[in-house]
Amino acid sequence: MRINYISISLIVALLLVTACEEDYLIRLPQDQISTYDYWNTTNDLKTYVNQFYPNFDDNSEWTGGIFWFDVGTDNMIAEHYDARLAGTRVVSVSGGWNYTQIRSVNYFFESYEKCEDDFANYKQYVGEAYFFRAYFYGNLLQTYGDVPWIDKTLLPNSEELYAPRTNRNEVANYILADLDKAIEYMDSGPNEDGMRLNKEIAILYKSRIALYEGTWEKYHAGTDFGLSGSDGSTLLQEAADAAEQLINMGVYSIYTENDPGWAYWHLFNSPYDYEGHPEVMLWKKYDIDLGMKHFHQFYLPQYGGGVGITQSLVDDYLCSDGLPISLSLLYQGDTTTPVVAANRDPRLKQTMYTPGWPMAIVDLDTTRVFERSLLPASGNHKCVTGYQLNKGALPDPSQMEGGSVTPSIIFRYAEALLNFAEAKAELGTLTQNDVDKSIKLLRDRVGMPNLDLATIQPDPDWDFPLLSPVINEVRRERRIELACEGYRWNDIARWRAHHLIINMKPKGAFFSAEEYPELEVGVSVFVDENGYVDPYQASLPDGYGFDPNRDYLSSIPTEQLTLNSNLEQNPGW
Q: What angle, rounded to 10 degrees, do the helices at 119-144 and 168-185 form?
A: 160
Q: How far apart are CA 276 and CA 252, in angstroms?
A: 10
Task: Please count the other Cβ atoms lying within 10 Å of the Cβ belonging to residue 531.
Answer: 16
Q: Answer whether residue 542 is part of any domain.
A: no
57: closest CA among 552, 486, 544?
486
Q: Answer whether residue 138 is part of any domain.
A: yes
State the sign of the Cα–Cα–Cα–Cα dihedral 546, 547, 553, 558.
Answer: negative
User: Which helix (H) or strand (E) is 361 found in, with range?
Assistant: strand 358-362
Q: Answer whether residue 146 is part of any domain.
A: yes
242: closest CA among 204, 197, 185?
204
Q: How far apart are CA 538 and CA 265, in angstroms?
A: 36
* pLDDT confidence of residue 301: 72
* pLDDT confidence of residue 542: 96
* Number of compact structural domains in the chain: 1
Q: Answer whether residue 301 is part of any domain.
A: no
Cα of first residue to Cα of last residue in the chain, in angstroms, is 39
Query: In this model, does residue 16 exceed pLDDT 70?
Result: no
133: closest CA among 155, 158, 100?
100
Q: Answer whether residue 130 is part of any domain.
A: yes
User: Which helix (H) or strand (E) is 515 found in, with range?
Assistant: none
- The 3-state DSSP composition of the chain as helix, strand, coil percent (nearest 5) reads 40, 10, 50
Inter-residue contact 436 to 450 (CB < 8 Å):
yes
Domain region containing 154: 5-62+100-186
Residue 330: partners with Cβ closer than 8 Å, 6 or more residues away: 319, 320, 321, 323, 343
Average pLDDT over residues 312-335: 98
* pLDDT confidence of residue 392: 92
* pLDDT confidence of residue 7: 37
What's the one-letter identity of residue 202? A
Residue 366: partners with Cβ closer than 8 Å, 6 or more residues away: 358, 360, 395
pLDDT tens string 84-119: 999 999 999 998 899 999 999 999 999 999 999 999
CATH number at residue 21: 1.25.40.890
* pLDDT confidence of residue 36: 62
Query: In this model, does residue 25 exceed pLDDT 60?
Result: no
Q: Answer whether residue 140 is part of any domain.
A: yes
Check residue 150 and give left, alpha or beta (phi > 0: left; psi -120 to 50: alpha). Answer: beta
Using the 8-state DSSP alphabet, how is residue 270 labeled? -
pLDDT tens string 344-396: 999 999 999 999 999 988 888 888 999 999 999 988 889 999 999 999 998 88
Say if pTM beats, i.e. exceeds, 0.75: yes
User: Which helix (H) or strand (E) is 78 found in, with range?
Assistant: strand 76-78
Q: Answer whether residue 238 is part of any domain.
A: no
Inter-residue contact 537 to 526 (CB < 8 Å):
yes
Q: Answer whether residue 47 is part of any domain.
A: yes
